[in-house]
Homo-oligomer: A and B are copies of this chain.
Amino acid sequence: MKSKLINEQQGEKTFALIFETGDEAMSGLARFAKENALGASRFTAIGAFRDVILGYFDWEAKEYRKIPVREQVEVLSLIGDVALKGKEPKVHAHVVVGLSDGSTRGGHLIEGHVRPTLEVILTESPEHLCKEIDEESGLALIRI
Contacts and interface: CB of A to CB of B under 8 A. Distances in A.
Task: Please tell me the size bucket of the interface on A.
Answer: 35 or more
Given A12-B7, A116-B134, A144-B2, A46 B79 contact: yes
Contact of A54 (B3, B50, B80, B98): B98
A144 B18 contact: yes
A6 B16 CA distance: 20
Contacts of A11: 7
Interface majority SS on A: helix, strand, loop or mixed? Answer: strand
| Copies of this polypeptide in the complex | 3
A30 interface: no
Interface of A: 2-7, 9-12, 14, 16, 18, 21, 40, 42, 44-46, 48, 50, 54, 56-59, 65, 67, 69, 72, 74-77, 79-81, 92-96, 98-108, 115-117, 119, 121, 125-129, 134, 136-137, 139, 141-144
